[in-house]
């Protein structure tokens, strides 16, 4: 990858990476650090990364950096357990996407990540599996369970509204 | 054997020779109602066979109550069961995810048509698609950029120097260092040269008149001057030669000497003044000698230092893995050149002079 291609990647994908990370961890500074760290790694490894694969490389790097940070900070427990969760339903939502993003925050970490990669970036199960180091079946299970949760959430909010 | 029994049974009615076949069929439950009636009549007529008939029933094995304990492991879960969601939820999500096959789509459509709850569920699932929040932007994007090549005069000079030197180096790696062989082979001109014109002072060995520009040639010593006489310098290197040498060279006055201007070994004489017809009665006058003094563009070591700087700048700006590493002798001359790129490496060592 050339310098120009690297700069194009920074122009094109930095917002995507930042958005993805920020939606996962609600901390702007940490999200920015992760974006910088990911692009620094890309710059170091630019000769072994093809421009066509740079987006996946960035998401993979950013995701794994984020997981490392989360584990170190122990802010979020990585679990796929929705059981016992009692959502608080607000009635001040302005639109459906706002409701969905509120629901998104309540998803378990891993489900939130795979749904964001699926909906924000349009990645296939296989691509998501590569980024998150899961297998395709696990990715599919997480996405389906996340959809059920989101559906139930917006269903209850609709009832309230 | 059973086929044979069947034929035997069909051919004849029940009698004391074939009754066992009827007994076994009765036990298996394969006896027709008509045969059962015949069997009943037969037993009434032959009461001695009653015990045998009842005994046959006792030899039939009854199945034991044995069950396979791991039956559940053999049962395959549906996708919905695997995901721990309902069948309807699975179908709705599969459709939302564009991950549904034809049969599943048919099932979902049928369910939605006949069930309003299914329809509402499906609509809710359709709404679970998240859209990116484009208001979120990475504000420090400029910090991520790396500089591309910015041309400045100095940097461009260095880069071009590097490119030219490397190219020449690859074409003819020793051209800068072995001057003798270079001059022997060199036919083209240097990039930069100056033409000098210097007054010639032909001196004749026998009749030299010092301080007199005119020299006298005796009648018997005919000579024909043409332009570009072969002239050698003090080191006996050919500096000029006559490409149209006279046939009368044998008559050349061997004593003639043209003083060669004090020139460094880069000097090359190109021609002499126009051909001068010489006659026995005339006095040859060589008015001037034209020569070209050749000077290299730059000192060789300076060139390589330019090349080194150029390569370093190129490497810094582009990130390419190239390196020009020279080894210098104590007196500052280049002893060894290493050109290292990502794909190949080239090294040349020059013998010390």
Q: Please tell me whether residues A65 and A131 are part of one structural domain.
A: no
What is the per-residue pLDDT for B172?
53
Please indicate, yes or no, whether residues B213 and B274 belong to a single structural domain of this protein: yes
Question: Is the same domain home to A67 and A37?
Answer: yes
What number is the average pLDDT over the span B83-99?
Answer: 90
**In the prediction, which pLDDT does B110 show?**
92
pLDDT in the model for residue A62: 94
Residue B144 lies in a domain: yes
Q: Is residue B63 part of a domain?
A: no
Residues B101 and B247 in one domain: no
CA dist A142 and A148 (Å) reads: 10
User: So what's the pLDDT on residue A59?
Assistant: 94
| Mean pLDDT, residues B200-227 taken together | 38
Average pLDDT over residues B115-136: 88
B342 lies in the same domain as B317: yes
Same domain, B186 and B301: yes
Nearest chain B residue to A31 by CA distance is B138
Distance CA A32, CA A41 (A): 14
Q: Is the pLDDT of residue B83 over 70?
A: yes
CA–CA gap between residue A22 and residue B135 (Å, rounded): 12
Residue finishing a domain among A13, A45, A76: A76
Q: Do B132 and A147 touch (CB under 8 A)?
A: no
Picking from B98, B118, B130, B150 by the largest number of A CB atoms within 10 A of its own CB, the best residue to mutate is B130
Residue B2: is its pLDDT beyond 70? Answer: no
Q: B175 and B264 in contact (C-beta within 8 Å)?
A: no
For the ranges A60-74, B128-142, B148-162, which has the lowest average pLDDT? B148-162
Comparing A3-17, A67-81, B185-199, which segment has the lowest mean pLDDT?
B185-199
Out of A29, A50, A76, a domain closes at A76
Give contacts of A17 with chain B, Cβ < 8 Å. Answer: 138
Answer whether B140 sits within 8 Å of A36, measured CB to CB: yes
**Residue A42 distance to chain B (closest CA, Å):** 10
Range of the domain at A83: 79-161
Residue B353 has pLDDT above 50, yes or no: no
- Token readout for B273 is 């003044």
Higher pLDDT, A25 or A87: A25
Check whether residue A54 and residue A110 sit in a common domain.
no
* Number of domains comprising chain B: 4
With beta carbons under 8 A apart, name residues in chain A contacting B121.
151
Nearest to A3 among B127, B144, B146 (CB): B146
Q: What is the pLDDT averaged over residues B23-36?
A: 85
What distance in Å separates residue B150's CA from the closest CA in chain A?
A: 12
CA distance linking residue B21 with residue B13, whole number of Å: 11
Residues A48 and A119 in one domain: no
Which among A11, A32, A101 is the nearest to B140, CB-wise?
Answer: A32
* Confidence check: pLDDT of A38 > 60: yes
B205 lies in the same domain as B258 = yes
Q: What is the pLDDT of residue B141?
A: 82
- Of the residues B243, B277, B294, the one at which a domain ends: B294
**A123 has a pLDDT exceeding 90:** yes
pLDDT band at B26 (very low <50, low <70, confident <90, very high): confident
Are A14 and B138 in contact (CB < 8 Å)? yes
Together in a domain, B199 and B258: yes
d(CA B148, CA A2): 9
Closest partner residue to A96 (CB to CB) among B127, B317, B319 is B127
Mean pLDDT over each residue of chain B, to the nearest integer: 65
Chain B residues in contact with A120 by the CB 8 A cut-off are 130, 132
Same domain for B145 and B163? yes
pLDDT at B216 (0 to 100): 39
Is A63 in the same domain as A106? Answer: no
Query: Which residue range forms the structural domain that includes residue B236?
Result: 193-294
- Residues B38, B77 within the same domain: no
Residue with the larger pLDDT of the pair A93 and A153: A153
pLDDT band at A150 (very low <50, low <70, confident <90, very high): very high
- CATH code (residue A138): 1.10.10.10
Q: Is the pLDDT of residue B39 over 70?
A: yes
Residues of A with Cβ-Cβ distance to B127 under 8 angstroms: 96, 100, 151, 154
Of B163 and A53, the structure prediction assigns the larger pLDDT to A53
How many Å apart are CA B289 and CA B160, to the nearest integer? 38
* One domain, residues B94 and B141: no
Residue B98 forms part of a structural domain: yes
Q: Give the end of a domain, one of A76, A111, A127.
A: A76
Residue B220 in contact with partner chain A when CB distance is under 8 A: no
Q: Which of residues 124-143 of B touch A (CB under 8 A)?
A: 124-125, 127-133, 136-141, 143
Same-domain check for residues B92 and B236: no
Same domain, A16 and A48: yes
Residues B176 and B308 in one domain: yes
Highest mean pLDDT among A88-97, A120-129, B273-282: A120-129
Specify the pLDDT at position B352: 52
For the record, the structure tokens of B97 come out as 């995810």
Q: What pLDDT shows up at residue B115?
A: 87
Question: What's the rounded Cα separation, in Å, for the pair B37 and B43?
Answer: 10
CB contact under 8 A, A46 and B319: yes
What is the mean pLDDT of the segment spanning B39-63?
82
A–B: how many Cβ contacts below 8 A?
Answer: 105
- Could you give the C-alpha distances from B273 to B178, B195, B201, B236, in angstroms and in order? 32, 13, 13, 22
At residue B153, the pLDDT reads 60
Q: What percent of chain B has pLDDT over 90?
A: 6
Choose the closest CB to A120 out of B132, B147, B319.
Answer: B132
Higher pLDDT: A114 or A76? It is A114
Boundary residue ending a domain (B269, B294, B319): B294
The predicted pLDDT at position A21 comes to 92
Whether residues B273 and B305 share a domain: the answer is no
| Domain end point (choices B294, B327, B344) | B294
**Cα A43–A49–A50 angle (5° rounding)?**
125
* Domain-embedded: residue B86: yes
Q: Is the pLDDT of residue B112 over 80?
A: yes
| pLDDT (mean) for B310-333 | 71
* CA distance to partner chain B, nearest, from residue A36 (Å): 7
Chain A residues 36-55 within an 8 A CB cutoff of chain B = 36, 39, 43, 46-47
CB-based contacts of B145, cutoff 8 Å, min separation 6: A7, A10, A11
- Residue A57 sits in a domain of what CATH number? 1.10.1740
Whole-angstrom distance, CA of residue B345 vs CA of residue A150: 59
Burial class (CB in 10 A: 0-12, 13-18, 19+), B17: exposed
Residue B253 has what pLDDT?
37
| Strand (E) or helix (H) holding B289 | strand B288-294
- What is the ipTM for the molecules in this complex? 0.81
Of B209, B195, B149, B225, the C-alpha closest to B290 is B195
**What is the mean pLDDT of the segment spanning B216-234?**
42
Kindly tell me if the per-residue pLDDT of A60 is higher than 90: yes
For A17, which residue in chain B has the nearest alpha carbon?
Answer: B138
Count of the separate structural domains present in chain A: 2
Closest residue in chain A to residue B86, using alpha carbons only = A148
Q: Given a cut of 90, is residue A160 above it in pLDDT? A: no
Q: How far apart are CA A51 and CA B59, in angstroms?
A: 81
Is B145 touching A (CB cutoff 8 A)? yes
Note whether A17 and A42 are same-domain residues.
yes
């Amino acid at each position: 990858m050339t310098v120009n291609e690297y700069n194009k990647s920074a122009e094109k994908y930095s917002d995507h990476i930042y958005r993805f990370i920020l939606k996962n961890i609600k901390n702007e500074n940490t999200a920015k650090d992760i974006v910088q760290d990911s692009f620094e790694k890309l710059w170091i490894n630019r000769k072994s990364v093809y421009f066509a694969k740079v987006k996946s490389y960035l998401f993979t790097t950013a995701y794994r950096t984020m997981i490392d940070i989360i584990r170190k900070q122990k802010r979020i427990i990585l679990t796929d357990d929705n059981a016992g969760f009692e959502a608080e339903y607000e009635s001040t939502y302005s639109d459906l996407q706002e409701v969905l993003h509120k629901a998104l925050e309540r998803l378990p970490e891993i489900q939130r990540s795979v749904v964001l990669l699926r909906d924000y970036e349009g990645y296939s199960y296989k691509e998501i599996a590569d980024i998150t180091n899961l297998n395709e079946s696990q990715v599919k299970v997480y996405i389906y369970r996340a959809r059920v949760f989101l559906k139930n959430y917006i269903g209850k909010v609709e009832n309230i509204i | 054997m059973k086929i044979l029994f069947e034929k035997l049974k069909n051919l004849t009615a029940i009698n004391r020779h074939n009754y066992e076949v009827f007994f076994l069929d009765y036990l298996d439950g394969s006896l027709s109602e008509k045969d059962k009636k015949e069997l009943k009549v037969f037993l009434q007529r032959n009461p001695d066979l009653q015990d045998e008939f009842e005994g046959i029933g006792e030899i039939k094995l009854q199945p034991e109550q044995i069950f396979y304990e791991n039956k559940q492991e053999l049962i395959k879960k549906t996708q919905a069961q695997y995901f721990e969601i309902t069948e309807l939820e699975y179908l709705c999500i599969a459709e939302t995810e564009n991950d549904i096959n034809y049969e599943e789509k048919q099932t979902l459509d049928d369910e939605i048509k006949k069930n309003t709850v299914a329809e509402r569920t499906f609509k809710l699932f359709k709404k679970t698609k998240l859209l990116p929040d484009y208001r979120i932007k990475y504000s420090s994007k400029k910090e991520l950029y790396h500089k591309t090549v910015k041309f400045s005069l100095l940097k461009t000079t260095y880069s071009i120097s590097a490119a030219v030197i490397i190219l020449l180096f690859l074409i003819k790696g020793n051209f800068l260092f072995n001057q003798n062989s270079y001059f022997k082979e060199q036919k083209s001109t240097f990039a930069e040269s100056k033409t000098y014109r210097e007054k010639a002072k032909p001196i004749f060995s026998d009749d030299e008149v010092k301080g007199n520009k005119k020299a006298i040639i005796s009648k018997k010593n005919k000579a024909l001057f043409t332009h570009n006489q072969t002239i050698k310098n003090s080191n006996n290197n050919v500096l000029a030669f006559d490409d149209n040498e006279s046939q009368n060279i044998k008559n050349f006055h061997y004593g003639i000497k043209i003083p060669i201007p004090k020139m460094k070994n880069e000097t090359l004489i190109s021609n002499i003044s126009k051909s001068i017809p010489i006659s026995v009665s005339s006095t040859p006058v060589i008015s001037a000698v034209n020569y070209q003094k050749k000077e290299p563009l730059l000192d060789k070591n300076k060139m390589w230092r330019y090349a080194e700087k150029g390569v370093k700048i190129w490497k810094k700006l582009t990130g390419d893995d190239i390196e020009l590493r020279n080894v210098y002798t104590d007196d500052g001359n280049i002893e060894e050149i290493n050109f290292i790129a990502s794909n190949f490496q080239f090294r040349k060592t020059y013998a010390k002079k």
